[in-house]
Amino acid sequence: MIPIKTLTTAATVLLLTTTGMVQAGVTLDGIKKNGFIKCGVSDGLPGFSYADEKGNYNGIDVDVCRAVAAAVFGDATKVKFTPLTAKERLTALQSGEIDVLSRNTTWTSSRDSAQGMNFTGITYYDGQGFLVNKKLGVKNAKGLDGATVCVQAGTTTELNLSDYFRANKMKYTPISYDKSDESAKSLEAGRCDVLTSDQSQLYAQRIKLAKPDDYIVLPDVISKEPLGPVVRHGDDDWFDIVKWTLFVMVNAEELGITSKNVEEMKKSTNPDVKRLLGVEGDKGKDFGLANDWMAVVIKQVGNYGEIFERNVGKGSSLKIERGLNALWNQGGLQYAPPMR
Amino acid sequence: MAEAHIPHPDLPPPVSTIGVIGWLRRNLFSSPLNIVLTILAVYLLYTALPPLLRWVLWNAHWSGDNRADCPADGGACWVFIRVHFEQFMYGFYPDDQRWRVKTALVVLILSAAPLFIRSVPGKIKMRLGLSLLAIYPVIAFVLFKGGLLGLATVETSKWGGLLLTLVIAGVGMTAALPLGVLLALGRRSQMPAIQTLCVTFIEFWRGVPLITVLFMSSVMLPLFMPAGVSFDKLLRALIGITLFQAAYMAEVVRGGLQAIPKGQIEAAAALGLGYWKTMGLIVLPQALKLVIPGIVNTFIALFKDTSLVLIIGLFDLMNIVHNATTNPDWLGFSTEGYVFTAAVYWLFCFSMSRYSHSLEKRLHTGHKR
């Protein structure tokens, strides 16, 4: 992930403090007045956010916004997507051009504090990994001593790579490329043994190769890149809604509620399920939403597992394993606080 | 009786100077250096052309509708372009509203056609051209954007593809030329206030890269606005591009103005013409004619620069192609996408260049040697 320039940050923070234009509580009011959510997404990232031949947006990041719209309006289509580049994204949120940023943004301390952001959770645990040819016979990253590594120039990826090899006292030869397409071609031509990038991107790179099945993504992850939706400081109600929409989707997966069986599950005797689907209690009132909002989210968009598999997992051409993104009780890190 | 002198009939020229052989000798094998260069060129073509043709044509895949129809066997996958073609042309403009874009195009072609017919008198052309310049943008805007006359509103964020490229280039060109002319006149003005203003403007905009202008317009500008007021992103980009290009245009036009001898202005003054009449009737017609190559050069540069809007997340032709290559169902076809984009850009730029050539020839009045 490319860090935003320190200078820009300083300038924007200064501007924010001097103009002080975003007032408390206005975001949710504005959304309700508009009748739709303004959602910032990526301008094209496989599996996370892209527009298909028909111009419909797809991807994990896109589905998160749809889920929030389903929560607020009971209608997942009430979203206006704004494609943003990596450099624009934080300003667009600060200036109120968008209400929520769902654009594979890494949760870091500086973004969460100095830049006036609130990360609402983690939709995808990403991290830097390695893509190698099976012929090499390497089973994990420790076996990469002396390898030639293709890496994207001028990114934190390059820095992480050098840190990792130095820490493990291994040698390597880096070859830098500007474009991800070039590095994929280079790996294919055998100019490098390994390609390194964020894991979610490695799967996309693999598809570009002529024989994807000859290559594997090593299990090792050498950096932490937790990605999640972001809202700006100043409207805690809105922050809560986005945060709990994510938790609802994770909890729904844990309880076995899917978009298909949500109606049947309403008859369930499990109190957790009953509370989540709004059959029991008044979980809507606390958030200022309809009582069955969680059920609507699941019905219209799906639980976390469904979103994952549909966009980047088995149901997509990327075929990414759940790995760190499996539920906590299945060996992963996805964990949501209880609904009660 | 002396025999009348009958000259020998002309002999045919030597075989080696006519026909194919003559042409080859004259053009390709006229000197040892040229022989070497010719052989080198043929060798290069021989090595480069067959693989290229194989990729572009013979091994290429044309039919089908998904990536399974494009096995990796060394051929281009034009299916990728075909499937996305409509999107590359219109961006995210709604399917059922695309007739509006087509209508606008037809209106433009029909109304602008007389300008390109030689037998139409100049005066009529002038009036038609000026009224077109004033009215057509309004017609096109209403048709594209809607919200009037029962047309559904289509947000500018949905405009994309070639449509957006042409909108940006068209607005940039038509707005930058008059603005540039005014700036050039202002820079040569006798009035210090106007001169300083124009010089400052031109030097400021020429001194910053376009990419910075776009970036500032999309990233910094919104921070100065009151909350909730969002200024259309496309409009911001259009203003930035227009001002930027106007500065360049001003310098091109100034080059032409300086080439007009002082005597012309003095003669106009002697005839009793005021400043605007002198400029409009005597100086500018000559000056602009002189700098047609420079103006077209700026237009072509502008047309290609429109692709820079991708850094502010506008989906022009270049960016919409990039977006299509990130669809997981179509990963790995970026080469086809960019080759197609290059072809479209080349087509437009080359046409502009040819048109400027023909314009120069037509307006040629003997000042060239």
| pLDDT band with cut points at 50, 70 and 90 for residue A248 | very high
A286, part of any domain: no
Taking only the tens place, the pLDDT of each residue in B65-114 is: 777 778 777 788 888 888 888 888 888 888 888 888 888 888 888 888 88
Instruction: Convert B46-70 into a string of H (helix), E (strand) and C (coil).
Output: HHHHHHHHHHHHHCCECCCCCHHHC
| One domain, residues B339 and B325 | yes
Asked if residue B246 and residue B335 are part of one domain, the reply reads yes
Residue A328 clears pLDDT 50, i.e. is over it:
yes
Given a cut of 70, is residue A23 above it in pLDDT? no
Q: Give the containing element (helix H, strand E) for A216.
A: strand A215-217
**Does B194 lie in the same domain as B134?**
no
Rounded Cα distance between A173 and B263, Å, is 70
pLDDT digits (tens, 9 = 90+) for B147-175: 777 778 888 888 888 999 999 999 999 89
Element (H, E) at A164: helix A156-167
Cβ density class A292-305: b for 16+ within 10 Å, e for less = bbbbbbbbbbbbbb
Question: Are B328 and A204 a contacting pair at CB < 8 A?
Answer: yes
- Residue A99: name the closest of A137, A71, A141 by CA: A71
For position A198, which CATH number holds? 3.40.190.10
Collect all residues with Cβ–Cβ distance below 8 Å to B142 and sequence separation of at least 6.
B148, B149, B151
Cα–Cα nearest to A244, from A103, A326, A340, A126: A340
Whether residues B305 and B197 fall in one domain: yes
Question: How close is the nearest chain A Cα to the Cα of B307, in Å?
Answer: 14
CA distance A58 to chain B (A): 9
- Report the pLDDT value the prediction gives residue A25, as an integer from 0 to 100: 67
B218–chain A Cβ distance below 8 A for any pair: yes
Question: Per the structure block, which two tokens stand in for B216?
Answer: 């500032």
Q: Find the CATH number of the domain harbouring B255.
A: 1.10.3720.10
Greater confidence (B239 vs B313) lies with B239
Mean pLDDT of chain B: 86
Q: Give the pair of three-digit tokens for residue B54.
A: 């194989």
CA pair distance A8, A328, nearest whole angstrom: 38
CB atoms near residue A320 (< 10 Å): 21
Residue of B nearest to A313 (CA): B328
In one-letter notation, the amino acid at residue A129 is: G
Inform me whether the C-beta atom of residue B222 falls under 8 Å from chain A C-beta atoms. yes
B214 & B142 share domain: no
Report if residue B25 sits inside a domain.
Answer: no
CA–CA dist A39, A93 (Å, integer): 9
The mean-pLDDT minimum among A117-121, A158-162, A306-310 falls in A158-162
B174 lies in the same domain as B321:
yes
The nearest alpha carbon in chain B to A11 belongs to B220
Residue in A with minimal Cα distance to B158: A55
- Give the per-residue pLDDT at B253: 93
- What span, in angstroms and rounded, lies between the C-alpha atoms of A305 and A322? 9
Contact A185, A177 (CB under 8 A): no
Would you call A46 and B331 a contact, using CB atoms and an 8 Å cutoff? yes
Interface test with B, best of A23, A85, A99, A213 (most B CBs within 10 A): A85
B18 in any annotated domain? no
Mark B31-48 as b/e (b = at least 16 C-beta within 10 Å).
eeeeeeeeeeeeeeeeee
Whether the CB of A94 is below 8 Å from some CB of chain B: the reply is yes
Does residue A201 fall inside a structural domain?
yes
Q: Per the CB < 8 Å rule, is A12 touching B223?
A: yes
A18: confidence class by pLDDT, cuts 50, 70, 90: very low
CA distance B312 to A166: 38
Q: pLDDT tens, B279-311?
A: 988 899 889 888 988 999 999 999 998 888 888
**Interval B32-43 mean pLDDT:** 92
> Tell me, what's the pLDDT at A6?
47
Q: Are residues B149 and B163 in the same domain?
A: no
* Res A14 pLDDT > 80: no
Least confident of A294-303, B127-136, B194-203: B127-136
How far B85 CA lies from chain A's nearest CA (Å)?
9
Range of the domain at A173: 126-225
B311 in contact with chain A, both atoms CB, cutoff 8 A:
yes
Q: Does A35 fall in a domain? A: no
Alpha-carbon gap: B124 to the closest alpha carbon of chain A (Å)? 44
Nearest-by-CA chain B residue for A184: B332
In chain A, residues with a C-beta closer than 8 Å to the C-beta of B319 are 43
Single residue among B134, B153, B172 that ends a domain in this structure: B153
For residues B141 and B167, membership in a common domain is answered with: no
Do the bridges between strand A117-119 and strand A225-232 make them parallel or antiparallel, or are there none, so unpaired? antiparallel
Q: One-letter amino acid identity for B209?
A: P
CB contact under 8 A, A88 and B92: no
Q: Which residue of A has its CA nearest to B94?
A: A55
Question: Does the residue A152 lie in any domain?
Answer: yes
- The total number of structural domains that make up chain B: 2
Determine the residue of chain A that is closest to B319 in CA distance.
Answer: A43
Measured between CA atoms, the residue of chain A closest to residue B326 is A46
* B208: pLDDT strictly greater than 70: yes
> What residues have CB less than 8 Å from B200, skipping those under 6 apart?
none
Structure tokens at A295: 């059920």
Point out the domain boundary residue: B121, B137, B153. Answer: B153
Q: Which DSSP string do the residues of B58-111 spell out, in sequence order?
A: IT-B-S-SSGGGS-SSS--BHHHHHHHHHHHHHBT--GGGHHHHHHHHHHHHHH
**Per the CB < 8 Å rule, is B220 touching A43?**
no
Q: Do B311 and A16 touch (CB under 8 A)?
A: no
Q: Is A216 inside a domain boundary? A: yes
As a whole number of Å, the CA-based R_g of chain B is: 27
Q: What is the ipTM of this complex?
A: 0.73
Kindly state whether residue A110 falls inside one of the protein's structural domains. no
Going by pLDDT thresholds of 50, 70 and 90, the confidence category of residue B368 is low
Q: Is A194 exposed, middle or buried (0-12, 13-18, 19+ CB in 10 A)?
A: buried
Cβ A95–B84 below 8 Å, yes or no?
no
Report whether pLDDT(B44) > 90.
yes
In a domain, B351, yes or no: yes
pLDDT, tens digit, 9 for 90 and up, residues A51-110 = 888 888 999 999 999 999 999 999 999 999 988 877 778 888 888 888 999 988 888 888
Domains in chain A, number: 1
Q: Tell me the backbone φ, ψ of residue A211, rounded to 5 degrees.
A: -125, 80
What range defines the domain where residue B209 resides? 86-93+159-363
pLDDT of residue B4: 82
Beta bridge partners of B161: B316
Question: Does B219 sit within 8 Å of A88, measured CB to CB?
Answer: yes
What is the pLDDT, as a whole number, of residue B36?
93
Q: Is A93 on the interface with B (CB under 8 A)?
A: no
- Least confident stretch, B1-5, B126-130, B135-139, B343-347: B1-5
Q: Which of B158, B328, B334 is closest, CB to CB, to A318? A: B328
Among B116, B136, B153, residue at a domain's last position:
B153
Same domain, B273 and B355: yes
Q: Are B218 and A88 in contact (CB under 8 A)?
A: yes
Query: Closest partner residue to A207 among B84, B322, B332, by Cβ?
Result: B332
Residues B130 and B211 in one domain: no
Q: Would residue B129 count as lying in a domain?
A: yes
DSSP sequence for B267-319:
HHHHTT--HHHIIIIIIHHHHHHHTHHHHHHHHHHHHHHGGGGGGGT--BHHH
Give per-residue burial for A160-191: e unless 16+ CB within 10 Å, then b: bbeebbeeeeeebebbebeebbebbbbbbeee
Scan residues 73-92 of A and list those with Cβ closer than 8 Å to B: 80, 82-85, 87-88, 91-92
In a mutational test of the A interface, the residue from B55, B80, B327 whose CB has the highest number of chain A CBs within 10 Å is: B327
- Residue B246 maps to a domain: yes
pTM listed for this prediction: 0.80
- Which of B180, B240, B178 is closest to B209 using CA atoms? B240
DSSP string of A241-297, one letter each residue:
HHHHHHHHHHHHHHTT--TTTHHHHTT---HHHHHHTTSSS-HHHHHTS-TTHHHHH
Closest B-chain CA to A50: B327
Report the pLDDT averaged over residues A150-165: 82
Task: Examine residue A170 and state whether it is found in any structural domain, yes or no.
Answer: yes
